[in-house]
Amino acid sequence: MQKKERFQRFLDYFTQHYPEPKTELNFGNPYELLVAVILSAQCTDKRINQVTPALFARFPEAESLAAASVDEVFSYIRIVSYPNNKAKHLVGMAKSLMERFGGEIPATVEELQTLPGVGRKTAHVILSIVYNEPTMAVDTHVFRVSHRLGLAPLTATTPLAVEKALMAHIPKQYVPKAHHWLILHGRYICLARTPKCPACDLRDFCKYYEKHPELGHSGLK
């Protein structure tokens, strides 16, 4: 199967079955999304959604978070991964927002990445969801599923390489949605250790399944 056809099959399936995918992080505005995405690094969205209601109630905007102590922020997020570092990042991010951007969320990758706790992946998530920009945030799910489906070559060994491979073949209007399609497929079907191949409708063009057809029966490696 040619790469162009492989991408078309991917797009055809998801536009038909999941035309309006959304992030599973709960948020009410761009500031809350930025906080949630920073917290979500190496942590599940479910866990983040457990801590953000109280956190947002206490710090409803960047101004109040900027004035907070790291210790107090830590007390709200202690159950997430790396809470010490993330508490520092959140306070630093809020101070930067207030001092340099008037409390508004920047609209460029370059500006977003100057904020503490914000890397390329986080910046792309914000641009995609808040500003509907055609940016592809590559997390562990996107990285894994892209390789297994054959959307990214095995030689694409970094998130940036996978990002470029996907951006080269996915039409701009579908990029924000494709980010969610890949994440959700990796989160619920194409699991890292035990992919649920019997439940997957993409098996007929999946390179990983082609090499491991036994997974269609056992679901186990």
- Residue 28, exposed/middle/buried by CB under 10 A (0-12, 13-18, 19+)? exposed
pTM score, two decimals? 0.90
Q: Is 12 a catalytic residue?
A: no
Domain covering 3-21+137-218 in this structure, CATH number: 1.10.1670.10
Question: pLDDT 10s per residue in the chain (221 long)?
Answer: 889 999 999 999 999 999 999 999 999 999 999 999 999 999 999 999 999 999 999 999 999 999 999 999 999 999 999 999 999 999 999 999 999 999 999 999 999 999 999 999 999 999 999 998 999 999 999 999 999 999 999 999 999 999 999 999 999 999 999 999 999 999 999 999 999 999 999 999 999 999 988 887 654 44
Max Cα distance, the chain (Å): 57
Q: Are 32 and 6 in contact (CB under 8 A)?
A: no
Please enumerate, by residue number, every residue annotated as part of a binding site for [4Fe-4S] cluster: 190, 197, 200, 206
Domain boundaries, the chain: 3-21+137-218, 30-131
From residue 5, give the alpha-carbon distance in Å to each of 12, 28, 44.
Answer: 10, 38, 33
Q: Is 45 a catalytic residue?
A: no
Domains 3-21+137-218 and 30-131 alike in fold: no
Residue from 204, 197, 203, 202 nearest 218 by CA: 197
Instruction: Answer yes or no: CATH 3.40.47.10 is held by domain 30-131.
Output: no
Cα Rg of the chain, angstroms = 19
Per annotation, catalytic residue among 139, 177, 196, 221: 139
Please enumerate, by residue number, every residue annotated as part of a binding site: 190, 197, 200, 206
Per annotation, catalytic residue among 86, 95, 121, 177: 121
